[in-house]
Chain A
Amino acid sequence: MKRRDFLAGSAAAAGLALAGCDSAAPPPARKRGDPIRWRNWSGYQSCLPAQRIAPESLDQLVDLLRKAPGPVRPVGAGHSFTPLVPTDGTLLSLRNFTGLLRHDAKAMTATFGAGTKLGQVGGPLQGIGQALPNMPDVDEQSLAGAIGTGTHGTGATLGAMHSYVTALQLVTPRGEVLECSAAKHREIFDAARVSLGSLGVITEVTLQNLPTHNLKRRLWLEPLDALLERFDALAAKHHSFEIYLIPHCDSGIAITIDPTDEPVHPRGVDQDNNAVLDMKTLRDFTSWAPSLRRWLMNRATADFQPEEAVDVWYKVFPSSRAVRFNEMEYHLPREHLVPTVRRVREAVEKMHPEIFFPIEVRIVKGAGDDALLSPFHGHATSGSIAVHHYYPEDPLPYFGTIEPLYQNLGDFGGRPHWGKMHTLSKAQLAQRYPRFQEFLDIRATLDPEGRMLNAHLKTLFGA
């Protein structure tokens, strides 16, 4: 039974109609001629900038950075849930800084415009015989945005995206164009890789890649208790491994990805979006009987058949995420991951019947990651837990329950994903990042007037 079938079957068993169930979003109030507000992907963050611009050349960007009204905030896909972008000054799009610019076949590196969306990296890289070592499961972000927020995929031996950056071009608010790498402007390079767009505008990124290859993806359902018992063994065995907790269900989803020489067998049209909406329908119509919801979910998942697919790397890693959400993700010391997952599950089961989005559990290599603000810095491997909340509904009660579970772990507690919702203060972040002050000093040198700082970034990095 496919995922779509099992969930549709569950809803049908409850006597429900699935069609047209996604009607929670309020009708837009905008009228023709109204000012155009910027909103992030989920719609949770917004602003009305004095100007929205897309410089067409490096010279034009340099000029704009010197003269444009601040705060100047670069924007990629708007896929951050924290208020990294909102400004009443200048919103700066990098849509003209895109594409594969050059590559080095011997070193296996490739340089892209920093505004290139992750989903537009795979084809050009395949054309030159290269592959990203890893990718997130969402590929809508821009390279600059993904790298700048510490975005990652999953795998015990796979680092976050910024850990594969070997060089970058940074244009500072004063109009300096800096070529940064381990050999040149090393301190700025270490600060800039994860810098939330606060040092200036990153225009080019050079990535350390692998020879292109095919991957095999396997997805199956398993009783969650058994899956958590096997988590460490599966994480050690597979190139890429993650699990999803299905709220109010006794089974979890496991996904492994490994290199393969097997014949290509494409994934086909992604069913995840339909499955999520079906889970919402089930929630909506069984709110009066939570035990019925669990019974239906368990019944529907009982005979789920594993899915397998083999394809070129960039067609295997990402999944379609057309059902919008807000998200909170924390990175934890690895040894705390599975116990904390159990606590998150317990909290959802007891306190949050409204939750239907699966909860994502991943692992990220931190060894060798020397970016100053990398959430993985200093940990051989980190564990991460991401909770999602349907975009028209208020995420704060749910996130407010879950976030405390990530504190007081290890020396200080978990580190939040820079692009995902959290409530940590500058003082708390400074405790959790041993080189935080070093980053602040470099930032203040490059942007002494604070032109890159909006209200949110002032609270994190301001004097």
Chain B
Amino acid sequence: MTFTRIATFLLVLMSGAASAADAVDAARLGTLYVQTCMACHTSPGSGAPQAGDRAAWEPRLAQGMDALLAHTIDGHEGMPPLGSCMDCSEAEFEGLVRFMAGVP
């Protein structure tokens, strides 16, 4: 899927990944992003902070990654528990948050 390839490319660029192992992780994150995050986090009417919108993510990042992970996994306000990824690990959720927030 085109979106998956683009997301994967961006993830690899962001992480500066050169190793094959990192590229595999980036590919998985790219797939997860497209399958489970993109619908709301690229839709302004959803109320979700939009992917790549640093201004929207800054106050959330200021709460700390542990709080963001807790909100992602347990749900918070409009964010449903686990987003749409029913099988993601904690590390994958963190990778997805970092990608959308634009932080390494």
A interface list, Cβ under 8 A from B: 22, 25, 28-33, 36-43, 46, 52-54, 75, 77-78, 91, 93, 95-96, 98-99, 117, 119-120, 269-270, 273, 320, 322-324
A43 to B85, alpha carbons, bound, how many Å? Answer: 15
B70 CB contacts on chain A under 8 angstroms: 28-31
* Residue among A43, A91, A324 making CB contact with B86, cutoff 8 Å: A91
Q: Are B74 and A39 in contact (CB under 8 A)?
A: yes
B86 to A: closest C-beta gap in Å: 4
A22 to B44, alpha carbons, bound, how many Å? Answer: 19
Q: List 30 A-B contacts (CB under 8 A).
A: A28-B67, A28-B74, A28-B76, A30-B69, A30-B74, A32-B66, A33-B90, A36-B73, A36-B90, A37-B74, A38-B86, A39-B74, A39-B82, A43-B74, A52-B86, A52-B87, A93-B87, A95-B35, A95-B85, A95-B87, A98-B35, A117-B84, A120-B39, A269-B44, A273-B47, A320-B45, A320-B47, A322-B46, A324-B78, A324-B80
A40-B81, A117-B39 known; A54-B87 Cβ under 8 A: yes
In the complex, whether B16 has a CB less than 8 A from a CB of chain A is no
B48 to A: closest C-beta gap in Å: 8
A117 to B: closest C-beta gap in Å: 7
Q: Are B45 and A270 in contact (CB under 8 A)?
A: yes
Q: Are A75 and B76 in contact (CB under 8 A)?
A: no
B84 CB contacts on chain A under 8 angstroms: 77, 95, 117
B89 to A: closest C-beta gap in Å: 8
A405 to B39, alpha carbons, bound, how many Å? Answer: 38
A96 CB contacts on chain B under 8 angstroms: 35
6 closest residue pairs by CB, A with B: A39-B81, A28-B70, A322-B78, A322-B47, A93-B86, A30-B70
Q: Are A32 and B47 in contact (CB under 8 A)?
A: no
A36 CB contacts on chain B under 8 angstroms: 73, 82, 89-90
Q: Residues 5-32 of chain B: 1 if any A CB is under 8 Å from the residue's CB, otherwise 0? A: 0000000000000000000000000000
* Apart from A41-B81, A323-B78: 8 A-B pairs, beta carbons within 8 A: A29-B70, A30-B73, A30-B74, A40-B81, A75-B86, A95-B84, A95-B85, A269-B44
A435 to B: closest C-beta gap in Å: 32
Q: Are A95 and B74 in contact (CB under 8 A)?
A: no
In the complex, whether B54 has a CB less than 8 A from a CB of chain A is no
Q: Are A28 and B71 in contact (CB under 8 A)?
A: yes
B67 CB contacts on chain A under 8 angstroms: 28
A98-B35, A273-B47 known; A25-B77 Cβ under 8 A: yes
B74 CB contacts on chain A under 8 angstroms: 28-30, 37, 39, 43
* Residue among B36, B66, B71, B82 making CB contact with A38, cutoff 8 Å: B82
Chain B positions 63-104 with a Cβ under 8 Å from a chain A Cβ: 66-67, 69-71, 73-78, 80-82, 84-87, 89-90
